[in-house]
Structure 1
Amino acid sequence: MRQLVKYLESEKEKGRSHVLLDAQARQVLRHLAGRPGAKQRDASTAPGANASPSVKKFMPASSNADIADLPQLEPISPSLPKSEQLAQLDQQLRGWITGNFPQSLRQTLVFSSGNPDARVMLIGEAPGHEEEKSLRPFVGPAGKKLDKILEAMGLDRDDVYVTNLVKFRPATPRQTTNNRKPSPAEVAAFMPVIREEIRIVKPECIVALGATPLEALLQTDSTVSSMRGSWHEFDGTPLRVTYHPSYLLQSGESPAVKRAIWEDMLAVMEKLGMEITAKQRGYFLPNA
């Protein structure tokens, strides 16, 4: 039991919003939920206790062989306008659905949104239930938080490029609104896609939102908290790591988490040469 709680706390520290658990681990959580005082304990130890259920029934992801069957991307002419290049990439991904598509992924494409000429690209994990319904990345409560972060920077969705590593919602048995994080094989299968997006958009900097983009783009198992606060690079493009907006919700909108995310966004603004007011620099400081 202690090992399970330690694992959940570690995953929360990494900024994860979802975890995969086997039957034994789920049984332990059911036992904890039935004990006196479980509400207080759940709120402090289980990630996302106050959000939609984040501990999902385990479903083995598709095998590497299934994922490997996804087609390779066809070359897209760099001489085309960026919007046309992205439209062609979108169309190629739609064509994947008609082929030998992995059963571990649902068959609704959720492509990117925003400005093809954006100076900053924000990369999340994978679409969830809300994104699948709207066909746009980062909607729902986490998306609203992202909108507020952008607003505080003096930006909106039309100024940035927003996308996810995996472009289809990871599936689970009898799935309704529950989500799961993509498997390493699923993420690896979509790395050529994210690289193509970066090639097309040519952002001046990238923001990795949460643990999964961090691990995929920087090839590390380090936590978000240990990697945020400084600049890294992905294929020559400056990259900043910060917490996923859902982590802010899970933390109960902790002032410390708000300030940490905001400090990363201030660094992005500085990198882009944006004007920063004294008021903006003081957001979410203690006693501010």
Structure 2
Amino acid sequence: MSATPNSLFRHYLDSLIQQGTTRASLTDEARNVLRTWYVAARQGGRPAASASASPKPPPLQTSAPAPAEMPEPPELLPQSGEPAFSITLPEGTMEDKLQYLRHLAQNWKPARELNSLRDTMVFATGNPHTKLMLIGEAPGYYEEVQQEPFVGRAGEKLNQILRAMGLSRDMVYISNIVKFRPALPNQRTNNRAPTPEEIEACLPIIMHEIRVIQPKMIIALGGTAAVGLLGEQGSVSSMRGRFHNLNGIPVRVTYHPSYLLRSDSPREKRKVWEDMLAVMERLDMPISEKQRGYFLPRE
């Protein structure tokens, strides 16, 4: 198959991201071509012949920033959880690809250049050959110490939720969008949520993790993770209670386990548990009457 301007441009972007480049200035000509492609893609058609006559990708200027901050064309921004640029995964097994992503995350230039994240990388844990993937926002103090996501008190609360579902940590895959603990001045055990800039910088890694794992279901733990993955603005209370779609994968939004540590009422526990019941039903997991009755008010 002959190369098209679109495929050439995508190949060029792939080469840039492999070099750690995440920002590029666009000429007016490039913007016009990209907008034409975007409109055609949204309409399900192909660009007009006049817009794709040249076999060359639209020119980019990567050596110097644009004189003024200009909004990038829509297709270069994350759409419904898509990273702005793709990563070329190697051939091989699922484990080979995850190892590649782990190494890439450790030295991920877009995240490192922010100078707002700490140095210890925390990647993921659990079974990659699973139907269920759980995704949080970023590691905290205990995760950084043990280099594993969701440990400490929040991790134990998550373990309890999984056990109530009839699962364990080694039966699911657990990860975070941001792979480094967000930094604070004079930081000890205190943590903070990642910023939108930190999430945007790290989003390509987690999106390619999802593509490697190919889960049947994703649980987004907390509002920051939900907004980062889905590209929607809203609170957990407004986003939970239904399934969202991420590139064909159903996503259930629920409260972060740390929320249950701060609000340990049966009513709030029931909200999380109703989300878990919905996940179990969607995955055709067995559910006992005892499980269905967890955290319901006593008559």
Structure 2 counterpart of 1:255, from 255, 266, 281: 266
Paired residues for 1:240-251 under 5 Å: 240-251=252-263
Structure 2 counterpart of 1:102, from 111, 114, 127: 114
Structure 2 counterpart of 1:147, from 155, 159, 183: 159
Q: Distance in 2 between matches of 1:147 and 1:217?
A: 23
Matched, 1:239 2:232: no
Structure 2 counterpart of 1:181, from 189, 193, 197: 193
Unpaired segments ≥5 residues, structure 1: 1-71
Paired residues for 1:264-283 under 5 Å: 264-283=275-294
In the TM superposition, what is the alpha-carbon distance from 1:237 to its structure 2 partner?
Answer: 0.6
Amino acid in structure 2 at the alignment position of 1:213: A
Q: Given that residues 269 and 276 in structure 1 are in contact (C-alpha distance below 8 angstroms), is that contact kept between their aligned partners in structure 2? A: yes
Amino acid in structure 2 at the alignment position of 1:170: P
Larger RCO: Structure 1 or Structure 2 (Cα < 8 Å, ≥ 6 residues apart)? Answer: 1
Partner in structure 2 of residue 226 of structure 1:
238
Q: In structure 1, the residue corresponding to 2:138 is in which secondary structure?
A: coil
Q: Given that residues 139 and 150 in structure 2 are in contact (C-alpha distance below 8 angstroms), is that contact kept between their aligned partners in structure 1? A: yes
Amino acid in structure 2 at the alignment position of 1:82: M
Unpaired segments ≥5 residues, structure 2: 1-84
Paired residues for 1:124-203 under 5 Å: 124-203=136-215
In the TM superposition, what is the alpha-carbon distance from 1:93 to its structure 2 partner?
Answer: 1.6
Q: In structure 2, the residue corresponding to 1:233 is in which secondary structure?
A: strand
Identity of aligned residues (%): 53
Q: How many residues align?
A: 215
Structure 1 residues 73 and 232, CA gap change in structure 2 (3 angstroms) = closer
In the TM superposition, what is the alpha-carbon distance from 1:84 to its structure 2 partner?
Answer: 1.5
Q: Given that residues 128 and 169 in structure 1 are in contact (C-alpha distance below 8 angstroms), is that contact kept between their aligned partners in structure 2? A: yes
Amino acid in structure 2 at the alignment position of 1:162: I
Q: Distance in 1 between matches of 2:244 and 2:105?
A: 29
Structure 1 consecutive aligned stretches of length 4 or more whose deviation exceeds 3 Å:
none
Structure 1 residues 138 and 285, CA gap change in structure 2 (3 angstroms) = same
Q: TM-score, normalised by structure 2?
A: 0.69
Q: Given that residues 114 and 198 in structure 2 are in contact (C-alpha distance below 8 angstroms), is that contact kept between their aligned partners in structure 1? A: no
Which structure has the larger Rg over C-alpha atoms?
2
Q: TM-score, normalised by structure 1?
A: 0.72
Q: Given that residues 87 and 204 in structure 2 are in contact (C-alpha distance below 8 angstroms), is that contact kept between their aligned partners in structure 1? A: no
Deviations 1:200-229 (A, max 9, x none): 000001001111011112222211111111
